[in-house]
Chain A
């Protein structure tokens, strides 16, 4: 793929395993080969091949209906592929593998929280669900980091969607998934929220996790990520590590968005 002779600065992937759950476990590597998914007879995603290595922070771009959400759902195990398979360290990821699901997370901004439980109870519930033991202090420190310390006792129903997103971030901070999928988070977050999210995602990547973020905020996603994947009509049209300068990306990207896309 690299054109010979041009000076290329490839963003180096450096990571060292630092989050607790990964100690003793070799960092998770996700391979996707000939993945396809059809709804009824319509192909939402066709013969997709990906190789996600630890430390990658992938920006998943593409127009509406390109298959971004389908890919996220497939990677998170919510839906099963029609053909092809997803392998975690060579092991096929299927619903009969609960322990593999413990290593995957899907950050849906204001979803996946119980409205009638308080913020703290939500965190307790999900951390007990994913892990045996739960240290109360870690809950408080997570809430502290996302700035919800004083709202710990409030019901989630009374929180604003921005605060719900912060609570989801706190949740995944606690659960430390090795593959974190993020579905268009920028819609609800304010300035400090976005900084908080991006620091968290960067921290995850430097700790050897894989982050795949689907978004329409191209400029933001580009700053954050070290790899870009573009989908259109269910097919992979671009998959390259970030580099300066990046002509290939401009051409691939301009195909489906009017020039100067947001």
Chain B
């Protein structure tokens, strides 16, 4: 068995430097690699290109890096209600490549699975397709989109084992599996790290071969963006 566990978040992020391209899992604040993000703030690396569906909120998630101006460019599908993100984008301080959410997922998967590029219908006829190659198949138009190239991928899982196998929970799964193995080094943080052999091989979402380093994360805040509830009648 090939062991992937590292002692802590510091060891997990060894080698991260300025100017790198990073992938970060999560949708909104759900399933984001909280420990890795906190460490990126600590390391104070700058000029980063971040591939992540969102950029957190003003004071959490990738928003923390935006506030410190550590990010040069975001590749995302959604800005939403993140005011600092929108402000930096409109002022031109931050380069932003907005792409369709499914394209984002599949450009990650292409990198993971060794595909150089994919044809997707998303964005055809819009400014997203400007300057890109397009092509007709069976009477429908598609846009050629390339696999991402990234230095590190930071993902967050629910459970993981020392062989790097991962299991995600609920919709905190989102982009995390697609990013595993899609960068030169994939770092997984988990809520519970167990010995190899503990997880059922049939229930593993991402095999350890896609993960280079794994560690037990600490103090998960797991903030909720929109707390919607109903009353018991």
Do they bind each other? no
Which B residues lie at the A interface, using CB under 8 A? none
